Structure 1
């Protein structure tokens, strides 16, 4: 009788102590369900809104016990969007625990989560971003509105705390909303253009795969409700002339490398009459099968399961 094949033990971590908790739960549940049970033994772990870790039976775990569980796995797949997860926090925990993990490391996660730092990196390598200023709780009251702007927390995701300020009467509330989620906020000029995303997948041999571009089509602007309420249409591959497509791919690769990303990252742009403008970079983007990144790679012929398998296999010891 042939022995059963040895399965790779994968810890899938979801939830998180931030405003993207529910989105992360959905991504993690989808990822865990899509990993081939013949190849993977999935250990599901959840981080609660209060920071408590729980096992797959929803039993609370002291942090030390959660780390021991992680150390008993071959690899960790952290599917926690936003602060205390995507920002390098979980990568740091895995580094200290000595467990291989999928995705960007501590530095890249922290840089990409910080929208102001990402702007500085992009501008330094010649990739335009929207004109903007950095404000804090102490300086926000000094900002004078002169034209339509977007106000957003420096480190948050899923458009939480983001406001389009079309007239000065809206500014105070927008600043207050953003400051409720972060002690630093970014105020940027409104960019008029097509919203185009490109995903980059780094591989174990050092090469990178660029996905087909995806265009977000929405009536109005792409806020939280549009993202998760079905009000947006994803068109992939986006209809782009070859020069624009090439420019987007080269810019996405340049930002991915400059930030030091690993695994998969989604690089979001506006395409305007004057050229491309970087919006932001997500090192742990939404990851249900219907999310942008899986849809982009599916358009290139890589299924959701195959994408997850590649992400996991690429970080396992040779």
Structure 2
């Protein structure tokens, strides 16, 4: 397969990532993740199986979403509970009946937060390894929560090197012969690619995946859709099985994040316990992540004279900050347009091969 990362993705507009080191550092250190509120975006509010005739409540930036299905099985998303529909009126984000635009895709209920007139289906992110009609078995799905703001959780996720230290007992340690890290972006996404040569085999693959070798060839990708606060993680392990994770960080409040994840292990043989065990590892991994991000989150809500410290390995996180701030600035100036296509199939971008 042609490696698309031999050259950067083309830019069709002004790039907020400046080449001036001082200006870039200034933007990085202007980071106030709790103050970011990006609208005109689809948010994966719930797994499809979680929504039936009985209403369930979700929230984005503390904005309530009540979800239920009508007699025909169609999903309805409203600002108020259906028993209170007499009180429902048009608001900034809903139609005259107090309802939000809603779409069901990839096994998720997606709700639009923003101007309802701009709610186009093509603004739903591309997730090539999830079936568009949903239907993954329940053992591949789950829900965890983080006591931190969503941008901080995603900033942690985009640094793939953190897993060697925080999640070493699950995904393997930092021992390898060499590694290469690349970061690519456009105005709506940022992608980090990490290629490792002769990396220590992940414990979960040794214990449950049947891998007998001591080292693996590894290619890991994280791609974040900025407005939707959603990430796709794709890992190719040889020997071993591919890991296909959808990791949405829905910002329920300023300091509370909901993660309704999906890990598609359908590519793994049914007789291999890795197919069933790996999705459940998300519960352990999320606790490990939370142990780092939860204490950090409140510190960004207090005035602080000290600047963040960074290393060369923080390129992805730094650029993520700048891109998020640039989007927020554009929206503050009344520009909600999508400059790049988030629904375009990103299989080549992440190196996904359905075969």
Instruction: Report the TM-score when normalising by structure 2.
Output: 0.33
Ranked by relative contact order (alpha carbons within 8 Å, sequence separation 6 or more), the top structure is 2
TM-score normalised by L of structure 1: 0.35
